[in-house]
């Protein structure tokens, strides 16, 4: 498997010199689950030792982390950073600041910008912007089809040469099976995972929420689950036939989980992600007609939610992805049917799933950590690991601290978070990405524990 | 005492006792509408804003008349030719109008939840005059008022709602109001126009008129011409063949209702509209009294014990 770390871009910062003392280190892949001192020198994990055994060298900072948890940094394979063209919603700087605040040490940005990332020049300019602005390493997917129209393929090989991690028309499906099949064939030349937003527009129509009892009550056109699941089944069959590597984005319903299970059992080279909001909320929230609960795919039923949880637990669904989708306040402050789809999610992802699924006993903590980092592997990126010799990609979390979402504002430029106002548990205190301090809480900063 | 208000956004805002109180109040106001001078001073010095983002004849005119008969100052704004037409957002429009300190804003919008949003942005009482395909609570109240007058009570009545339920806010509010008042509601229409899971609202659904004779009341919905374009029905002709209510399909004694405006010859035959079983005219007349009652209950409410004191 090739290593795509050179397809991530970020602003170079001074490497961290830091001793994290006494944190409970949990890294399922390194088989670590106990308190350690972790010494970081020159941005690399230099040494792990028993609590109290390591001392900070001259010039290094110390964080007293007893009672806190240290995880490998999270990787989000699905964010919208809105650059270029929609910087009033988000830009690479604010979006990656939100990522860092959520414990993410790398993110993968979607190409449905304005202009669309369907041309190597746009991609090169984005990569260049990221080397000036990105707080955490950022990768880019390019479009599968020109201008996301689903008709002509982009110059996929050139886009790969320009640094594309993979391809997607996210926000839209590739409606034509014939066009998608050609992209899958072309993947044999250029590589790059093809990520799919699955939706049959003939079935979703002008739907704005899940089709169910709530949509019937509200008189809002529904998006039936099979709008997604029929396309998952179709494209899994195409992937198997062409031997192509396909990733299913933001699965939302039990029927899609079943189609995915069927494909994986048959040996198709497919993977899938699920979003924190689909794991923790249902269409019942839409009764409020609050446009924060409008996203695509929509919040679905409790049966769907339970199926997604079970699939994430078993690993059938490979990873958690936020689908962080910022929108300006004035764009969301309109009637539900008029509002754009999407919720922000980077700053709340870990705490939401920890509070709603780990604290309730539905998911083990080490499983959550594994699924929050697995997105890297799907795009041939190294999975962050807490082990000597590796770059420091990690996050320090206080699993006891409770906080109200949005009470202190957001690092994101937008505030359309579907968890706004909820009290969550599990606060990210510190994030190191590619060996540098990408985020620290105000408390840590004021305590001068970190410069 | 049952609380009514501060807004009327949905039939869900009202329990049975609240509905009955509004209807009782409407009975007294109906008496006012029979006088030569059709006016009471209940809302003198207060302002009611009608904000209509969709064309409407009977709802907007009856709200306007209702407010005027209560002596309120009335401002009616339609989307055509107003700031709304110039791209002003709903929020900005509502905040601008709120600067006039209206006691109530009556809003009609093509989008579900619009009235609820307006209620967040203004200190005025907000009345939903139709939001998308979601609800039209004052229509449901006037329908219950009309039926209660004829039947005495809706308890145990079998009410059939026939037609395009999928796109009908009237149907949704009426299912809630009729069932809350004790009636059994059956929906009937082409399966393409009956929303999946609608039974969760406490009604039944059927695709044919076979059991129509069971109905005490046949409530017919408007069938919009453009439904053919999206293949909800293959043709209005085929729709009319299967679902048009004609005198031949009605049993003696069944009551016929329609929220208007009627597509004569589509969902209703001309003879049915003009038959003595039809309550369509009574529904329109009830509109003013019921909307007077809603305005009165929201803006004056229990503060004044009897109408006589203000009339």
Question: Which ranges constitute the DSSP H helices of A191-274?
Answer: 201-204, 213-218, 226-242, 254-265
Please, what are the domains in chain B? 11-135+287-310 (3.40.50.1370), 137-283 (3.40.50.1370)
Quote the tokens at residue A365. 């903590």
CB contact under 8 A, B112 and A336: yes
Give the per-residue pLDDT at A47.
Answer: 96
Preferred mutation among B54, B95, B112 to probe A, highest tally of A CBs within 10 A: B112
B7 — contact with chain A (CB < 8 Å)? no
As a whole number of angstroms, the distance between CA B150 and CA B242 comes to: 28
Beta bridge partners of B217: B159, B255
Question: Minimal CA–CA distance to B140: which of B149, B129, B152?
Answer: B129
DSSP conformational letter for B226? G
Domains of chain A as residue ranges with CATH = 9-70+389-446 (2.30.40.10), 73-378 (3.20.20.140)
Structure tokens at A139: 């990768």
pLDDT category of residue A448 using cuts at 50, 70 and 90: low
CB A219 to CB B200 under 8 A? no
Chain B's closest residue to A287, CA to CA, is B113
Report the alpha-carbon distance of residue B14 to residue B3 in Å, rounded.
Answer: 8
Residue partners of B218: CB distance under 8 A and separation at least 6? B160, B162, B212, B245, B250, B254, B255, B256, B257
Closest CB from A211, A289, A336 relative to B196: A211
Q: CA B212, CA A294: separation in Å to the nearest integer?
A: 39
Q: Which of A283, A323, A380, A398 is catalytic?
A: A323
A213 interaction partners in chain B (CB closer than 8 Å): 197, 200
Report the length, in residues, of chain B.
311
- Shortest Cα distance, chain A CAs vs residue B120, angstroms: 11
pLDDT > 80? residue A3 = no
| Number of Cβ pairs < 8 A linking chain A and chain B | 66
**Chain B nearest C-alpha distance from A236 (Å):** 28
**Nearest Cα to Cα of residue A48 among A378, A369, A389, A276:** A389
Residue of chain A whose alpha carbon sits nearest to that of B175:
A217
Mean pLDDT of B260-286: 95
For residues B235 and B190, what is the distance between their CA atoms, to the nearest angstrom? Answer: 12
Residues of B in contact with A211 (CB under 8 A): 196-197
Out of A216, A335, A336, the one facing B195 most closely (by C-beta) is A216
Please indicate if any CB of chain A lies within 8 Å of the CB of B198: yes
C-alpha span between A142 and A155 (Å, rounded): 10
User: What single string gives the DSSP state of each residue in B148-198?
Assistant: HHHHS--TT-EEEEES--TT-HHHHHHHHHHHHTT-EEEEES-GGGS-TTG
Contact A247/A378 with Cβ under 8 angstroms?
yes
Residue-level pLDDT at B310: 43
Any idea which residue has 């796109």 for tokens? B167
Is there a contact between B291 and B28 (Cβ–Cβ < 8 Å)? no
| Contact criterion met (CB below 8 Å) for B48 and B67 | yes
Q: Which of A175, A190, A301 is nearest to A238 (CA)?
A: A175
Handedness of CA B76, B13, A277, A212 (dihedral sign): negative
Asked if B132's CB is within 8 angstroms of A337's CB, the reply is: yes
Q: What pLDDT is stored for residue B227 in this prediction? A: 74
A289 contacts B197? CB cut-off 8 A: no
Determine contact: B6 vs chain A, CB below 8 A.
no
The Cα-based distances of A178 to A245, A307, A358 in angstroms read 17, 31, 42
Residues of B in contact with A204 (CB under 8 A): none
Residue B309 predicted with pLDDT over 80: no
Provide the pLDDT for residue B81.
Answer: 61
* Cis omega (within 30 of 0) for bond into A84: yes
In A80-229 the beta strands, taken as DSSP E runs, fall at 104-109, 138-142, 166-168, 193-196, 209-210, 222-223
Q: Can you give the pLDDT at residue A63?
A: 95
pLDDT, tens digit (0-9, with 9 covering 90-100), for A245-282: 999 999 999 999 999 999 999 999 999 999 999 999 99
Test A219 with B133 for CB contact under 8 angstroms: yes
**Nearest by CB to B90, which of A213, A289, A334?**
A334
Numbers of helices and strands, H then E, in chain A: 15, 18
Of A211, A219, A330, the CB nearest to B132: A219
Lowest pLDDT segment from A46-50, B79-83, B275-279: B79-83
Chain A contact present for B94, CB below 8 A:
no
Cross-chain Cβ contact B197/A218 below 8 Å:
no
By DSSP bridging, strand A436-440 and strand A423-433 are: antiparallel
Nearest to A321 by CA among A139, A159, A149: A139
Our CA-based measurement puts residue B87 at a distance from the nearest CA of chain A, in whole angstroms, of 13
Q: How many helices (H) and strands (E) does chain B have?
A: 10, 9
Nearest CA in chain A to B116: A289
Query: Which of A322, A314, A323, A316 has the alpha carbon at shortest distance from A367?
Result: A314
Nearest partner of A288 among A279, A299, A297, judged by Cα? A299
Is any Cβ of chain A less than 8 angstroms from the Cβ of B229? no
| Residues of chain A found within 8 Å of residue B128, distances taken between Cβ atoms | none
Whether A216 sits inside 8 A of B198 (CB atoms) is yes
Q: Is A334 in contact with B117 (Cβ distance < 8 A)?
A: yes
Structure token pair of residue A437? 């301090």
Pick the residue from chain A with its C-alpha nearest to B115.
A335
How far away is chain B from the Cα of A310, in angstroms, using its nearest Cα?
26
CB A320 within 8 A of CB A349: yes
Rounded to the nearest 5°, which phi and psi values hold at A110?
Answer: -85, 155
- Where is pLDDT greater, at B129 or B85? B129
A212 contacts on B by Cβ (under 8 Å): 196-197
User: pLDDT at residue B1 above 60?
Assistant: no
Tens digit of each residue's pLDDT (9 = 90 or more) over B70-94: 999 999 998 776 666 667 899 999 9
Residues 6+ apart with CB under 8 A from A352: A276, A277, A279, A280, A345, A419, A424
> Is B201 in contact with A333 (Cβ distance < 8 A)?
no
CA distance A413 to A46: 36
Alpha-carbon dihedral angle through residues A303, A307, A308, A314, given to the nearest 10 degrees: 160
Residue A173 · residue A250 · CB < 8 Å: no
As given in the structure block, the two tokens for residue B160 are 């059939």
Residue B20 CA to residue B152 CA, distance in Å, equals 12
Identify all chain A residues contacting B165, using CB atoms and an 8 Å cutoff: none
Q: Judge: A212–B113 Cβ closer than 8 Å, yes or no.
A: no
Partner residues linked to B148 by β-bridges? none
Joined together, the tokens standing for residue A264 give 């994986």
Q: Say if B310 is an interface residue toward chain A (CB within 8 Å).
A: no
pLDDT value for A450: 61
- Provide the pairing of β-strand A270-274 with A18-27: unpaired
C-alpha B17/C-alpha B29 separation (Å) is 18
Beta bridge partners of B206: B188
**Residue A323 annotated to the active site:** yes
| A150-183 residue pLDDT tens | 999 999 999 999 999 999 999 999 999 999 999 9
Residue of A nearest to B201 (CA): A217
Q: Best residue in B113, B118, B165 to probe A by mutation, most A CBs within 10 Å? A: B113
Quote the pLDDT of residue A59.
Answer: 87
Confidence check: pLDDT of B303 > 90: no
Measured CB to CB, residues of chain A less than 8 Å from chain B are 211-213, 215-220, 222, 289, 330, 333-338
Structure tokens at A420: 């706004």
Convert A240-257 to b/e letters by CB count within 10 Å (16 or more is b): bebebbbbbbbbbbbbbb
**Cβ distance of A335 and B131 shorter than 8 Å:** yes
| Confidence (pLDDT) at B229 | 77
pTM score, two decimals? 0.94
Whole-number pLDDT of residue A183:
98
CB-based contact, B226 to chain A, within 8 Å: no
Hey, what are B19's tokens?
Answer: 């509905």
Which pLDDT tens digit goes with each residue over A175-225?
999 999 999 999 999 999 999 999 999 999 999 999 999 999 999 999 999
Reported as type and span, the H/E element at residue A430 is strand A423-433
Q: Which residues of B touch A289 (CB under 8 A)?
A: 112-113, 116-117
Q: What local confidence, expressed as pLDDT, does residue A149 receive?
A: 98
Q: What number is the average pLDDT over the span B140-157?
A: 98
Residues of B in contact with A219 (CB under 8 A): 112, 132-135, 167-169, 172
| A220/B109 CB distance under 8 A | no
A215: chain B residues, CB-CB within 8 Å = 195, 197
| Segment A399-447, tens digit of pLDDT | 999 999 999 999 999 999 999 999 999 999 999 999 999 999 987 766 6
How high is the pLDDT of residue B79?
78
Query: What one-character-per-residue DSSP string does B227-256 give?
Result: GGTTTSSS-HHHHHHHH-B-GGGSPTT-EE
Bridge partners for A34 per DSSP: A25
Asked whether A228 and A252 are in contact (CB, 8 A), the reply is: yes
φ, ψ of residue A324 in degrees (nearest 5): -50, 115
């Amino acid at each position: 498997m090739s290593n795509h770390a050179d397809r991530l871009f970020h602003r170079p910062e001074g490497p961290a010199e830091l001793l994290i003392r006494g944190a409970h280190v949990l890294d399922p892949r390194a088989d670590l689950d106990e308190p350690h001192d972790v010494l970081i020198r020159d941005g690399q994990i230099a040494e792990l030792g028993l609590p109290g055994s390591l001392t900070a060298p001259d010039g290094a900072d110390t964080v007293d982390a007893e009672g806190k948890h240290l995880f490998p940094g999270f990787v989000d394979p699905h964010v919208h950073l809105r650059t270029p063209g929609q910087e009033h919603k988000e830009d690479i700087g604010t979006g990656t600041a939100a990522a860092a605040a959520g414990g993410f040490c790398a993110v993968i940005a979607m190409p449905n910008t304005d202009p669309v990332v369907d041309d190597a020049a746009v991609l090169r300019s984005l990569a260049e912007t990221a080397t000036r602005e990105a707080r955490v390493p950022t990768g880019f997917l390019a479009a599968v089809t020109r201008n996301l129209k689903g008709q002509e393929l982009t110059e996929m090989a050139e886009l790969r040469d320009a640094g594309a991690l993979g391809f997607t028309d996210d926000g839209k499906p590739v409606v034509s099976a014939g066009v998608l099949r050609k992209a899958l064939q072309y993947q044999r030349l250029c590589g790059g995972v093809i990520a799919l937003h699955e939706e049959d527009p003939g079935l979703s129509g002008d739907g704005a929420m899940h089709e169910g009892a709530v949509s019937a009550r509200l008189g809002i056109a529904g998006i039936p689950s099979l709008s997604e699941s029929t396309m998952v089944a179709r494209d899994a069959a195409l992937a198997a036939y062409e031997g192509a590597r396909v990733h299913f984005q933001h699965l939302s319903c039990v029927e899609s989980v079943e189609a995915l299970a069927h494909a994986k059992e048959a040996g198709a080279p497919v993977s899938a992600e699920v979003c924190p909001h689909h794991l923790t909320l249902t269409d019942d929230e839409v009764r409020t007609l609050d446009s924060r609960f409008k996203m695509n795919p929509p919040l679905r039923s409790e049966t769907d939610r339970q199926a997604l949880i079970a699939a994430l637990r078993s690993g059938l669904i490979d990873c958690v992805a936020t689908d962080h989708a910022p929108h300006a306040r004035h764009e969301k402050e309109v009637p539900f049917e008029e509002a754009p789809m999407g919720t922000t999610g980077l700053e709340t992802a870990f705490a939401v799933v920890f509070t709603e699924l780990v604290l309730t006993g539905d998911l083990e903590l080490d499983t959550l950590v594994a699924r929050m980092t697995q997105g890297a592997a799907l795009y041939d990126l190294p999975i962050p690991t807490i082990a000597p010799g590796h770059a420091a990609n990690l996050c320090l979390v206080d699993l006891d601290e409770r906080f109200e979402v949005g009470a202190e504002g957001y690092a994101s430029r937008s505030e359309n978070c579907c968890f706004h106002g909820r009290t969550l548990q599990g606060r990210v205190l510190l994030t190191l990405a590619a060996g540098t301090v990408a985020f620290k809480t105000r408390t840590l900063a004021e305590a001068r524990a970190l410069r | 005492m049952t609380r009514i208000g501060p807004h009327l956004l949905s039939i869900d805002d009202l329990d049975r006792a609240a509905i009955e109180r509004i209807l009782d109040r409407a009975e007294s106001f109906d008496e006012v509408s029979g006088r030569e001078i059709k006016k009471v001073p209940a809302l003198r010095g207060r302002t009611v804003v009608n904000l209509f983002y969709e064309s409407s004849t009977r709802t907007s005119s009856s709200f306007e008349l209702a407010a005027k008969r209560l002596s309120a100052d009335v401002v009616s704004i339609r989307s055509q030719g107003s700031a709304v037409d110039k791209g002003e957002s709903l929020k900005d429009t509502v905040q601008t109008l709120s600067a006039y300190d209206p006691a109530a804003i009556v809003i009609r919008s093509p989008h579900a939840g619009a009235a609820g949003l307006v209620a967040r942005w203004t200190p005025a009482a907000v009345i939903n005059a139709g939001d998308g395909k979601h609800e039209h609570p004052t229509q449901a109240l006037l329908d219950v008022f009309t039926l209660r007058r004829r039947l005495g009570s809706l308890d145990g009545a079998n009410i059939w709602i026939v037609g395009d339920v999928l796109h009908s806010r009237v149907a949704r509010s009426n299912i809630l109001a009729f069932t809350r008042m004790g009636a059994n509601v059956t929906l009937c229409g082409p399966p393409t126009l009956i929303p999946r899971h609608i039974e969760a609202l406490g009604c039944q659904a059927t695709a044919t008129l076979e059991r129509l004779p069971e109905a005490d009341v046949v409530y017919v919905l408007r069938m919009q011409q453009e439904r053919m374009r999206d293949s909800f029905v293959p043709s209005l002709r085929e729709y009319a063949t299967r679902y048009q209510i004609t005198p031949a399909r009605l049993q003696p004694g069944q009551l016929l209702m329609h929220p208007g405006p009627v597509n004569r010859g589509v969902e209703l035959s001309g003879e049915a509209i003009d038959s003595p079983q039809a309550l369509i005219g009574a529904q329109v007349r009830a509109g003013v009294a019921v909307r007077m009652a809603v305005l009165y209950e929201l803006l004056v409410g229990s503060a004044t014990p009897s109408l006589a004191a203000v009339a």
